[in-house]
């Protein structure tokens, strides 16, 4: 995939790693703050990396809560939050063992299709570092391995062509959390993780480093 190249000045970006498990509302508020700062050129392009505390989120594509399975109260009884988000997409799960990336970037031009494909390419390249052949689905946004979804993508564009939200890559995620919903509103497909595909333990910090390296290649 041919990606738009940036000048050295524009290539500078910050990486913010949040420790522990971040409640979804805190991550959402942080993004709002960073988007405002980026819009005023108060910060450079920034990649936020984190793990969320267990949470089911619903994006703007959802017409109702039908993809939340038995409903919000049941999901809360499992120990997860339920959050209606302003990102694109439908229902998904975030939790421990899942690497979430929130790029806050000022795009040169607003090309939503290209940006989504670039985020998919980022994850595809990271997975290739582990010897996995990942790819796209012709109908659905995200990254797939052996017919199952390994990474979900949902984004938002603010004024000034500033991006927020991003991707969620299942690394060592407990996949049973996804059994309670219809992930991304897609029926007939399963979800998977890097650990499951490799049938081996995986270091989340190592995956983070690979994400940062590949992010630098694609967006710098």
What residues are labeled active site?
Answer: 184
* CA dihedral sign, ordered 208, 211, 217, 220: negative
- Any idea what the Cα angle at residue 88 is, between residues 87 and 89, rounded to 5°? 120
* CA dihedral sign, ordered 81, 167, 69, 90: positive
**CA nearest neighbour of 168 among 114, 76, 67, 87:** 87
**CA–CA separation, 147 vs 153, rounded Å?**
17
Cα 114 to the center of its chain, rounded Å: 16
**CA–CA separation, 34 vs 163, rounded Å?**
10
**CA–CA separation, 70 vs 79, rounded Å?**
14
């Amino acid at each position: 995939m041919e990606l738009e190249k940036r000048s050295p000045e524009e290539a500078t970006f910050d990486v913010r790693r949040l420790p522990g498990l971040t409640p979804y509302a805190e991550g959402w508020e942080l993004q709002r703050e960073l988007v405002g700062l980026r819009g005023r050129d108060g910060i450079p392009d920034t990649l936020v990396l984190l793990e969320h505390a267990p949470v089911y989120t619903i994006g703007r594509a959802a017409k109702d809560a039908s993809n939340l399975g038995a409903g919000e109260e049941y999901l809360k009884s499992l120990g997860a939050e339920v959050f209606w988000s302003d990102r694109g997409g439908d229902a998904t799960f975030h939790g421990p063992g899942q690497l979430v990336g929130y790029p806050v970037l000022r795009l040169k031009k607003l090309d939503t299709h290209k940006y989504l494909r670039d985020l998919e390419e980022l994850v595809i390249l990271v997975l290739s570092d582990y010897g996995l052949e990942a790819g796209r689905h012709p109908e659905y946004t995200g990254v797939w391995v052996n017919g199952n979804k390994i990474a979900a993508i949902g984004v938002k564009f603010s004024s000034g062509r500033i991006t927020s939200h991003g991707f969620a890559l299942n690394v060592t995620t407990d996949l049973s959390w996804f059994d309670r919903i219809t992930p991304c509103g897609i029926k007939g497909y399963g979800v998977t993780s890097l650990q499951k595909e490799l049938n081996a333990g995986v270091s989340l910090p190592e995956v983070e480093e690979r994400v940062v390296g590949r992010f630098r290649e694609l967006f710098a």
